[in-house]
Amino acid sequence: MQPLLSAKDLHVRYGAVEAVRGVSFELQQGEIVALLGANGAGKSSIMNAITGLVPTASGQVMFDGKDITGSAPESLAPAGLTLSPEGRRVFGTLSVADNLRMGAFALTDKDAISAAWDRVYDLFPILRERKDQYAGTLSGGQQQMLAVGRALMSNPRVLLLDEPSLGLAPLIVDQIFDLILKLRDQGVTLLIVEQNVAKTLQVADRAYVLVSGEVVEQGKPSQLSESGTMQDAYLGAN
């Protein structure tokens, strides 16, 4: 079956530094796929290159059968692909409701927009309660929910989640992982970058392990956990 999202021999460079060196991966419809690796392994660079936030040096990204390599970021949300970025990056000077409204910017159909509001408020009742509050005044966990909610407002078929549980209290972390499974049940295909490896491997269907911008291992969580590569990837041994 043709993958919904795939990258082939992807390279990302920042000046002389090559952050991503020939990474290839694919996501099938309905999968949860994780990118794992230590800080600086190139995970976020891959996410940002897919969404056009950083330029792709070479390689190819395909989404839904179309070449989206180097597309402008604004063209992806209407096509059904979006990112909940690392560090949340909610619009702090906008109200919670306006953040969500911006998330739905790409939607034009009125029914689809109102369905998106219902879905996000059902998933995160706290956002409904806080809808008139400035996003900058929310707690970290609430801001993370807002970041994910804002991404969901565009009704994505593929959602990229960059470090969704970073800096959150353990209880909230559990909620985030429950949410990931819930989204999959709703038909969203997910690509996740996470530092919480144990939890990620519990929810992921497959994972790619990155070291210094290269994929060193891939497979189902059960296969990865048995091999020693995972520890090496995080501890930096070669």
Partner 1 sequence: MDLFLQQTVNALALGGTYALLALGLAVVFSIMGLINFAHGELMTIAGYVLMYCGIAGVSFVIAVPLALTASVLAAVAMERIAFRPVRNGSGATMLVTSFAVAMILQVLFQNLISTRSQPVLLPALLSDSVRIFGMVIGVNKLAAIVATVVLLVFLDWFMKHQKTGIAMRAAAEDFAIARLMGIKANTVIAGAFALSGLLAGVAAVLWVSQRASVDPLMGFMPVLKAFIAAILGGLGSLRGAVAGGFLLGFIEIYLAAFLPPEMQEFRDPIGLGIVVLVLLFRPNGLIPSATLKAEKV
Q: Which residues bind partner 1 (CB under 8 A)?
A: 51-53, 72-78, 82-83, 85, 89, 91-94, 98-99, 101-103, 105-106, 136, 150, 154
Exposure of 27 in the CB half-sphere (CA atoms within 13 A): 27
Residue 134 CB, shortest distance to partner 1, in Å, is 9
**Closest C-alpha to 212, from 69, 45, 1, 27:** 45
Residue 152 CB, shortest distance to partner 1, in Å, is 12
Q: Which is nearer to partner 1, 53 or 169 (CB)?
A: 53
Q: Which is nearer to partner 1, 166 or 216 (CB)?
A: 166
**Which residue type does 199 have?**
K
Residue 77 CB, shortest distance to partner 1, in Å, is 4
**Closest C-alpha to 39, from 164, 193, 185:** 193
- Specify the 3-state DSSP secondary structure of 147: helix
Residue 220 CB, shortest distance to partner 1, in Å, is 31
Residue 42 CB, shortest distance to partner 1, in Å, is 19
d(CA 233, CA 222): 16
Q: Which is nearer to partner 1, 36 or 50 (CB)?
A: 50
Q: In the structure encoding, which two tokens stand for residue 212, read together?
A: 């210094």
Contact of 9 with 22, CB cutoff 8 Å: yes
Residue 219 CB, shortest distance to partner 1, in Å, is 30
What's the distance, CA 69 to chain centroid?
17
Buried b or exposed e, range 194-215, using 16+ CB within 10 angstroms: bbbbebbbebbebbbbbbbbeb
d(CA 127, CA 138): 10
Q: Which is nearer to partner 1, 150 or 157 (CB)?
A: 150
Q: Which is nearer to partner 1, 102 or 166 (CB)?
A: 102
Q: Which is nearer to partner 1, 75 or 139 (CB)?
A: 75
